[in-house]
Amino acid sequence: MAGAIGYLILFETDPIFLKWALGVIARWKSTQLPEQLIQIHGRRDRIFPCAAGSSLRVVKAGGHFCVYSNSEQVNKILKDEL
């Protein structure tokens, strides 16, 4: 299911916007992180691989679209953090 969602998002996105968005992501040079940052990341994300960090909360079976495909786990993380 997650692969189908990614496919739909990719091919239904305006190509001009997609080119802009990918360019912005590629050039992002931020070095400061908010003090209370919590990063929720899918362990199986092949687009942005999971990196270690103290603010990281991992969805073990989650991929790039884990917010959709693993929403119960993401909601539990959010409830625990709040």
pLDDT tens profile 47-81: 888 777 778 899 988 988 888 889 999 999 999 98
Domain regions of the chain by residue span? 2-28+36-81
Identify the CA nearest to 69 among candidates 77, 59, 79.
Answer: 59
pLDDT tens profile 13-53: 888 988 898 899 889 888 887 888 888 999 888 888 877 77
